[in-house]
Structure formats: C-alpha cells, structure tokens
Chains A and B, each alone.
Chain A
Amino acid sequence: MKKVDFISGLAEELEIETTLESATNLKDLDEWDSMAAMVLIGYVSNEFGVTLNADDLNEITTVESLIERIGLDKFN
C-alpha cells in the first residue's frame, strides 16, 4: 500500500476534520480516544493483518511511528 493511501484511509476511518500527515501526532488529535484506538486497530488489522496491542498504542505517537510499527516493508 502507498503511504499516502494509508494516511487518507486512516483519516477517513477516524473521521478526522484536520489534515493528517506523516508527522501528525495521533495523540494530539481532538478525535483521539479509546474508541479511535479501536478503529485504528481494526483498520490496521484489516489492511495488513497486524494486530496492534496496548503497548503498541502507548508507544505510537506520529503517523510515521505507526507506519514503522506496521512495518516499512508493507508500504511502497
């Protein structure tokens, strides 16, 4: 998947009203809460077959750090 497609899909899933970029800290978003975390887990699991756990969610900050956790090899 292209990073740009992943980011726009993620913005759609999280119903984010501002622009989402690689450097955006997910935790700073108004929309970020436990339900958003659930939506994120579902999106990543459906698209990549990777299940994020609570430790992953604690460690993830920016969209780029999320992409690194999923695995850079899964993006082109």
Chain B
Amino acid sequence: MFQEFHGVAIEAISACVPKRKISNDFFEELLSPKELRVFEKTVGIFERRWADDSITASDLGYAAALNLIRQNQVSKEEIECLIFLSQTPDYKIPFTSNILQDKLGLKKEILCLDINAGCAGFIQGLSTAFSFAKSLKKGKVLFIVAETLSKIISVKDRSTAMLFGDGAAAVIVSAGDLNNNTTFLNFFSDGHNASAIEIPDGGYRNQITAESLNAIKDENGNKKNKLNLTMNGPKVFDFTLREISISIEELLKKSNIEKNEINYFLLHQSNQFIIKQIASQLKVEKEKMLLNINDFGNTSGVSIPLLICSNKTILNNSQNILMSGYGSGLNWGNLITNLSKTKIFDIIEI
C-alpha cells in the first residue's frame, strides 16, 4: 500500500527508557569473550535498558506522554484519539489505551485504540495516526508506542536474550498547523513467514498449559519455554537483506524524491550489521544512516522514535527524513517526512 498525506505532521515527540542498564557482562555465561567481541563488532549492541518487574510498557509510554503534556506541547482537551501500539500490553483484556485515557486524565469523548504490531510498528502507527488526524475538524492524535521485550525473552537463549531492550515514545500528530508538510508511506506483508518471530503459546491457537512453562533446550543449547519469544534468525536476516532496500527504492520512486535528497535514513535498530548492509545495497553513505543501537539494543517499534530523540539537532536542520521499520509478521514499511518543525525532546528515564 502507498499513502500520501498533505498538511499532516508530527508536532512533537518524546521518549522514555527504564533507568536500569544491562551491559553485555550480564550475558557472560552465554558467550565467550571472543564471541562477545564479534557480537559487539557485528550486531553493535553494548548496552540495553530493561524495566524492573514493577514497570510495564504502558508506564514507560505514560511517562513519555506526560512529558509532552507538561512541556505544553498539547493540552489534554485537544486529544481526540489515543493510539497505543505494543506487543507487551498491561492485560489481555482490557486494551491498554483505555487505561491510559484515565491515567493521563484525558476526556471521555475520545477514540481509544490498541494496535498489536512489532518492529515496523512505528510506521504502521504513524499511518493510523495520520489517517485519523486528517479526518479531524480540530484536535490532535496522541500515538504511544511502548515495549518491554525483556519480559518475554529467555535470558538463556542466545538468539534473542542480548538483542532486545525496553522503551517507549509518545507522538502528537495533527493536521493544519504545520501545513505544507507532505508525508509518503508504503507497506508490505509476508504472512507466509509469520512463524519466523513468534511466541508459540498463550494465544488461543495454542492455549497455555503446564507444558508451556517447560524450558526446552534446542540444538544450539539455547533454553526457552513456549511463552518466550522465538526468532528464526537466519530467516529474518535473509528477509531484511532481500526486501528492505527494494521497498525503500520503491517509496522514493513513487514519492518522486531522489535518494540524494534524503538527509538521513532512520532504520529500525535491529542489528548494526544489517543497517550497514542495507546502506551499501542502497549505495548511501553510512554517515546518513543514524545509529543508537549501541546504547539501547533492539526496542522493536520504539527504536525509530528513540533514534529521533537521540538526534534532535540534526533532524530539526534537515528537510527529508526516511524511516524504515521491519520485523515480526513478517512486515515492513517506510515513510518519508519532514521533521524540521517537530519539537523533539531529550530521552527521559524512569
């Protein structure tokens, strides 16, 4: 799907991460010193943030959203729609956006909506937020993306344990004020490979049984149960190197924007090696590919907004920014927009 929006923009963005830093030393039982060195050199993760048991994804999202309200970026009365996007919600029932409506003190005359989406989630969520904002006569959309993947991984599984981190971001989207902005998006799905990234049990296809909690050792010695996240690394790796650069080229073509007109590329921070490979496939200078995976790891749909908040000054001084999200589903999407008038706040911690 290809979308084009005129006169809709990201007004403000704020991000929040847990205070607790987990360095690679934490995983010394999983990797030898040499393996760790190769991991740091290729994947590029040195540290990630993990929430304590008492902090949920919605708590991180709440803090990010409250920051926007306190900084006078939006008044509570103006928010007509609240979108919460996560794979780690507070409950199965009810959906989390309704809980946040009350906690943030938002009015009752509001549309609350949850989206279950993964690493392409920020792009999917922005598509939804832009669509709602465009339909409003007045008012704004609050879009929160939040994840605590640390709570669904097995710390004894090398294929996932070291990769993921926690975080959240809140975004205000509105139509009108920042009027001459044009945003282009495109989306793709490959449900045939849905099982490449999954939690096998706990839904209603495979309901939880006592067996779901049994830790199973795989052929590589990784231990995880059926409520933990599993990832077919080689399949996901192949997919990103096969599909992403082509989809970015397609968006550029449909948007009539030359590659050299893009000031910066904000790719989902899944793996530094993959980002560099996509840069070389696109023949784009590596300096144009922003990175902060070193400090936060892969935070799923939160990684792009965290990257925005890590690069406030240069993004406020740029015209065309391209974002690309890809991951579970399998699903991928890209977006070109202008963030020069967006109020970007420093990352906060709770």
Contact = CB atoms under 8 A, between A and B. Distances in A.
B277 interface: yes
B280 A35 contact: no
Contacts of A36: 38
Contacts, number: 42
Contacts of A42: 42, 273, 276-277
A5 interface: no
Interface stretch (B99-107, B124-132, B229-237): B229-237
Interface string B77-108: 00000000000000000000000000000000
B35 interface: yes
Contacts of A57: 234
A46 interface: yes
Contacts of B277: 41-42, 45, 51
Majority DSSP secondary structure for residues of A touching B:
helix
A15 B38 contact: yes
Given A15-B34, A54-B237, A38 B280 contact: no
Contacts of B35: 33, 35
A54 B42 contact: no
Nearest to B281: A51
Interface string B273-294: 1001100110000000000000
Contact of B238 (A15, A35, A39, A54): A54
Contacts of A34: 159, 233-234
A35 B39 contact: yes
Contact of A39 (B42, B237, B281): B42
Nearest to B159: A34
Given A35-B35, A39-B38, A45 B237 contact: no
Contacts of B238: 53-54
A37 interface: yes
Interface in A1-46: 15, 31, 33-39, 41-42, 45-46
Interface in B160-204: none
A19 B17 CA distance: 46
Given A33-B35, A41-B237, 4 more contacts: A15-B34, A31-B34, A38-B237, A42-B277
Interface of B: 34-35, 38-39, 42-43, 159, 233-235, 237-238, 241-242, 273, 276-277, 280-281
10 contacts: A33-B35, A34-B159, A34-B234, A35-B42, A38-B42, A41-B241, A51-B242, A53-B241, A54-B235, A54-B237
